[in-house]
Every structure is written in C-alpha cells, then in structure tokens.
Structure 1
C-alpha cells in the first residue's frame, strides 16, 4: 500500500510542519539518495575546492608552457605568459574558469609581492633619492592631468577623468576600485567604470611589452629602465613583470618605485574625496578604515624590515625569490586571460580617451624625467 506523505515524512525524520515537495518522495530509493546527496556538510568541501580547478588548470598549463619557451628560446617567462594569455583568452569565456583565475590574479599576485620584500632593503629605498621621488610625483601628476584633459576633450564628465587619471597614476585597477567607491555610480555609470578597467588592463599589457623594449633602445641602464617602468606602467603585476623582463635588477627597481606609487593610494583617495565631496554611503565608514593600506603592502614592508635588520639565510631568500617569480608568472597569465579584448569593438572610442590620454602623458613625462634624472 502506498504510504501517505505524512507517513513518508515521519519515516524519513522530517517534521510534518516542514513544507515538503511531493516529488521528493516519489520513491524510497530516490528519496534516500536525495537526502544523502543534498547534505550540505558533504557537498560543501567538494564544491569549495572543485570550483578553482578549471581556472587553476588553465592558468597553470599556460604558465608552464611560457616557462618552457623562456628556458629554451630566451624570451622572459612573464612576457611569454602575457602574450600567450592574451592569445588564448577565449578559453576564459567559460565561467567555470573565472573563480580560479581571479584567485591567482589577486591572491597569487599579492603573495608574490609580499615575498619580493626579501629582495629589497631599506637602504635600497633610501638610495632612490629625493630627486627621483620628486620626479615620480611629477609623473603621477602628469597622468592625472592627462586623464582630466582626455575626459574634457571627449565630452565626458570630470569624474571619468578622475577615475582614469587616478587609476593610471597610482596602481591601475586597485586604484580604480578605491576611487569609484568615493565617486559612486550616481556620478559615474558602471559601464564607464567597466570600460576604464578594460582600458587600463589593455594599456598596462601594451606598456609591459613595449616599455622595456623602448628603454633598451634609449640605452637606459637597469636602474633607469626599472624607474621608467615602475613609474609609468599602471597595474602592479604588469609593472613588476615589465621590470623583470628587462633584468632582475630592473625588476627590483620597478617593484620599489611601483610600490611607492601604491603607498600613495591612501592620500590620493583622501584628496579626491575632499575635492568632490563624500557620498553618504562612504561617510558611514571610518576614516582609518577607508585609508588603511592594502595588506600585501603591509606584508611587503614587514619582510623588507626583516631583510634590512637581519641577514636572511640564502636558501630561504632564494626559495622566496623563486616562489615570487612563479606567482607573478601565474598572476600575469590569469590577468591576460581575463582581459576582455572583445569589448573594444562594442564600445565607442571616446570612452577610452581619458585612459589613453593619461597613459600618453604618463609615458612622455616619465621618459623625459628619467632621461634627465638618470642619464643627463
């Protein structure tokens, strides 16, 4: 005899007050399998780990291939990873790869930056000197002014110029996110914000490829090339990658200069918020929380201090260096795979003008000041 729904619920340990799907008890076997398969405690670990595998597998495969090409044919591994990632970014259209790629592009990059702290000392930062630091501030100001000018010439609002100029002058997408939190969607559309991120990613990828070559053609030494790349490439991963594609010494210099720009994110956001006025949603957060530096910058500084105060064992420093380079290769690969090159065809050229003008202004002023500071 077929049992009633209430009897079936009681036999399965379900309270009769619970809303029950009749199809759930269409058969004892299927009902029991459903109870087993839908148990959250059993499913959660598999989902939590499995969702990263497609992206990590795709990114790791390309990174290994890029490293192999670098070891056998000579070009820098990071440069090969960037080019291969851009060429194969159609593979990242599968949404299952996004979680793993985003993990590598964000967490992997930040851990890599922290580990680079073992390669830098306080003496090296002081060695940058007052004049190069002032030159860096001039380059950042030029990038910001270029973004504002591009927005004005293309008929866009000043907020588009602030977003593009600030992101270009400081640290790319991270700065864009911080600045957009102050500007808000009521002042600047999400479409313009997304397009700014795409433009920054494309400009950074191009700069990472072209700037080391241009620095070599101009006859810049490692320090000058590292300063040029670190002072003018937008995103952290591309700036560091471009520096290391020139040489290890240029990579360290580019890292120091780039992180000096990142350290200026907090005062830059504060100045912008005071200039345009805070939104009510942002005002609810404490000032200290809004201006707190990213955790990976704090980690980088911590390891830098340790490396400056004590002699780090060479095996530990060497392992940290190898791990940092591997993570940067993976981060650049993931960033390239996630670059939406197809959006350029869909969106108008005017929306790219603030990023383009900010990039050109940053590069021209950077080349000029680098030449006078380090060569002339």
Structure 2
C-alpha cells in the first residue's frame, strides 16, 4: 500500500513539475524586473506569463500551471493572515474600524449595482469592488479563488489585477498630494492613505513619504482592510454554495481552507509569540506564492481575449477608485477618523 502511495505521489510530482518550474521562473523574472524598474511585480508577472501562454495549451506544462494557478494561489492567500494582529486593529480605536467596515461594504455593494447596470455580472462587480476596497491584487486573487467557476472568470481576474495594480501605482503618487492639498494632519493623512490606496506596498511607500506618523497609521489602517478579506471570502463562498457544485461534483465548504488558514495565522500572529524573522519569512513566502500564481494565470490567458474587454470595465474600476476616495473623505468629515 505504501509503495503504491509513494508511486502515485512520485508520478504526481513528475506531472506537475514542468508547469510549476516554469511558473517559478516567470515569477522570479517578474520580481527581478520589479526591483530594478520600480513597477508593480504583479503587473510584470502577468505580462511575462501572457507572453508564454502557449505553454498552458496542451503539453507537459499544462497540469503544473493549472496547479499553480489554483492551489499555490490559495496557499498565498492563507499566508496573508500573518500580516495582521488584533492589537494593531485595536490600537486605533473604534472609529477607524467603523470607517473601514463601512467603506468595504458600501464600495462592494455599489460596485455590484453599477456592474449590473453596465451589463456585467454581479460577481464581476464583487471582484472589482473587493479588489478596490480591500487590498488590490491580493484581494482579487483571493475572491476569484472563492467565487463560482465561470468561463470568463480568469479573464475577469487578470483584468482586475492589471487594473488595480496600475491604479494603485497612480494612487501612490497622487494621493499624498491630495492629502497635502486638503491640509490633512499627519494622523488624518495616514487614515486617508491607508483607506484609499489599493496595495499594501504602495500604502507604505505613500505614507512614509509624508512622515513616520502618517506611515505608521496608514499601514495599520491598510491592514484593517486586509482583515476584511476574511468575511468577504466567506460571503463569496456562500454565493458559490448557492450556485451549486464545484467542478469535481462536491459541495464547496462554507469556509474554504485558505480562509481558515488566514484566520488561524492572524490569531497566532496576535499572540506576540511569532519572532519577527518568522513573520517576515512567511510574508515573503505569501508574496512569492501570489506572484508565481499570477504568472501561471497569465500563462492561461489569451491576450486577444483580454484586449476585447472594452471601455466599460476600465470605466468601472476607475469609477470605483474615485468613489472610494470621495466616500473616505465623507466618512472622515463625519467624524469616523
């Protein structure tokens, strides 16, 4: 029995290895280019992956690319839990928590309604709204993993990742200038930047470019938004259960395993027992998994199909970002900061 199990495992590894290795190489190349040209690593991973999309058609790499785009992606989402602690959230009091919950819920609901009005599915609105409201590309990938299968889901996911990465880079440059123009205090600027910029790295860059206090507050507020990923994933999983069975014929769990992993790691990290070097290592591993997974998703995508999305999805994502800025400023004006 053990011999059979070992043989099956060995065969499984041999089947997956070519695609996994190719995804790792593309991810490493994307990281190298990102470090040297100061551009979003997710964007490089997508573009490099799409340039190699012929590998995902039929051949020795197909199975490994499928595995990386699905399982490695979910592992990276689970490891995101090591970024946050309950103490970080409690340290700012209830007002920023209320602000973050409100902006996430309202932005996603408005996105769903507008997407439907523009002729898209509600799930596409949830995907783009979640990416804008929570944590950019990471949220898009996490939600895509939890939402029901759809013929165009991967195209929608990749478009969302490209759009939110580009908008986040633009926000990192523009939003500090908006904060200065509005004469926000360092604390207010931290809340504003942390609540509006899409990706964690860009929040850190924008916040600390203004002041240490602004950077500290912006980072914590941003991590609160990351924490909202869990309840939104649960909502997405509930939608999936209502829509029927997974491809394998089994009813999907109410709480996916990667959401459980996210929650457990956040709880462990909150104990204060995890050494800084371990936290950093797990965060780097999470980022690496997501980059490799998006490389694989890029390889599964035909550029022609992605280019045919039209103007409406672009307008939707830009509108979501503008709406988020206006909503956060309104909530801050009403005292939720």
TM-score normalised per structure 2: 0.69
Contact persistence 1:59–1:334 (CA under 8 A): yes
In the alignment, the residues of structure 2 paired with residue 116 and residue 180 of structure 1 have an alpha-carbon distance, to the nearest angstrom, of 22
In the alignment, the residues of structure 1 paired with residue 240 and residue 5 of structure 2 have an alpha-carbon distance, to the nearest angstrom, of 47
1:104-143 equivalences under 5 Å are: 104-126=68-90, 127=92, 128-143=96-111
The alignment's C-alpha RMSD in Å is: 4.0
Matched with 1:163 is 123
Where in structure 1 are there 5+ consecutive unaligned residues? 1-39, 152-159, 182-192, 231-238
Deviation, 1:207, is 1.6
In the alignment of these two chains, the number of paired residues is 296
Aligned with residue 225 of structure 2, among 257, 269, 274? 257
In the alignment, the residues of structure 2 paired with residue 210 and residue 326 of structure 1 have an alpha-carbon distance, to the nearest angstrom, of 22
In the alignment, the residues of structure 1 paired with residue 77 and residue 255 of structure 2 have an alpha-carbon distance, to the nearest angstrom, of 14
1:213-362 equivalences under 5 Å are: 213-219=170-176, 224-230=192-198, 254=222, 256-267=224-235, 292-344=254-306, 349=310, 353=312, 355-356=313-314, 358-362=316-320
Contact persistence 2:27–2:292 (CA under 8 A): yes
Aligned with residue 62 of structure 1, among 23, 26, 34? 26
1:54-203 equivalences under 5 Å are: 54-71=18-35, 73=36, 75=38, 79-80=40-41, 82-95=43-56, 96-126=60-90, 127=92, 128-151=96-119, 160-170=120-130, 172=140, 175=143, 180=148, 193-195=150-152, 197-203=154-160
Deviation, 1:150, is 0.4
Secondary structure at 2:303 match in 1: coil
Does the alignment pair 1:48 with 2:48?
no
Contact persistence 1:149–1:161 (CA under 8 A): no
Deviation, 1:324, is 2.5
In the alignment, the residues of structure 1 paired with residue 12 and residue 253 of structure 2 have an alpha-carbon distance, to the nearest angstrom, of 32
Deviation, 1:296, is 1.7
Deviation, 1:254, is 4.5
Instruction: Provide, for residues 313-356 of structure 1, a one-character-per-residue CA deviation record: whole Å limited to 9, x for no partner.
Output: 233223223322322332333333333322146x674xx84x45
Residues 147 and 242 (structure 1 numbering): CA distance in 2 closer, same or farther, change over 3 Å? farther
Instruction: Provide, for residues 246-298 of structure 1, a one-character-per-residue CA deviation record: whole Å limited to 9, x for no partner.
Output: 6897677545424514413444675899xxxx67879xx99xx7672222222
Comparing 213-222 and 200-209, the one that deviates more: 213-222
Contact persistence 1:114–1:300 (CA under 8 A): yes
In the alignment, the residues of structure 2 paired with residue 279 and residue 314 of structure 1 have an alpha-carbon distance, to the nearest angstrom, of 42
Deviation, 1:146, is 0.9
Residues 195 and 241 (structure 1 numbering): CA distance in 2 closer, same or farther, change over 3 Å? farther
Q: Which has the larger radius of gyration?
A: 1
In the alignment, the residues of structure 2 paired with residue 325 and residue 173 of structure 1 have an alpha-carbon distance, to the nearest angstrom, of 12
In the alignment, the residues of structure 2 paired with residue 258 and residue 130 of structure 1 have an alpha-carbon distance, to the nearest angstrom, of 14
Secondary structure at 2:228 match in 1: helix
Secondary structure at 2:38 match in 1: coil
Deviation, 1:102, is 3.1
Where in structure 2 are there 5+ consecutive unaligned residues? 131-138, 180-188, 208-214
Deviation, 1:83, is 2.0
Instruction: Provide, for residues 113-137 of structure 1, a one-character-per-residue CA deviation record: whole Å limited to 9, x for no partner.
Output: 3333333111223444212321222
Secondary structure at 1:339 match in 2: coil
In the alignment, the residues of structure 1 paired with residue 146 and residue 27 of structure 2 have an alpha-carbon distance, to the nearest angstrom, of 30
Residues 361 and 336 (structure 1 numbering): CA distance in 2 closer, same or farther, change over 3 Å? same
Residues 125 and 107 (structure 1 numbering): CA distance in 2 closer, same or farther, change over 3 Å? farther
